[in-house]
Amino acid sequence: MRALLQRVSSGNVIVDGKIVAEIDRGVVILLGIAPHDGEEQARYLVEKIANLRIFEDENGKLNLSLLDIGGAAIVVSQFTLYADTRKGRRPSFTDAALPEIASPLVDRFTELLIEQGVPAQQGIFGAHMLVNIANDGPVTIWMER
């Protein structure tokens, strides 16, 4: 499982001209699922993301977590995080999980964030999404499990 975490001052996801997810301060998580991923990987990343100290305290130090600031999250399924570009000019996505594996795990990942106390929304799996990210900092972190 791979997550590209972006700290945002705001973010939203638009599908077919309609906003399907929208947050103010928090994180947008681009989430890639591999065929062997499951609940264990999701739980690990969710716990790390909820508690990762990537927000400034009163002294300007990255010392506060998503939970500390009461931030929210948007989860966006992103199979292209498993792109293999070593050969040719067209990426291969054979390392990404098939939709029947990935879709329920993206849903579960979002549920686990909510269980951790992080208000979470998600894009629409498999849809063409316009993801607007006001990257704050910028702070962008790559995570893998």
For the chain, give every domain's residue range. 2-144
Predicted confidence at residue 128, as pLDDT, reads 97
Work out the angle at residue 46's Cα, subtended by the Cα atoms of residues 114 and 124, and round it to the nearest 5 degrees: 65
Q: Among all residues, which ones are annotated catalytic?
A: 78-80
Q: Alpha-carbon distance 46 to 42, whole Å? A: 6
Residue ranges of the chain whose pLDDT lies below 50: none
CATH superfamily of 2-144: D-tyrosyl-tRNA(Tyr) deacylase (3.50.80.10)
Task: Retrieve residue 145's tokens.
Answer: 């499990």
Q: pLDDT tens for residues 43-82?
A: 999 999 999 999 999 999 999 999 999 999 999 999 999 9
> Looking only at Cα atoms, what is the longest distance across the chain?
49
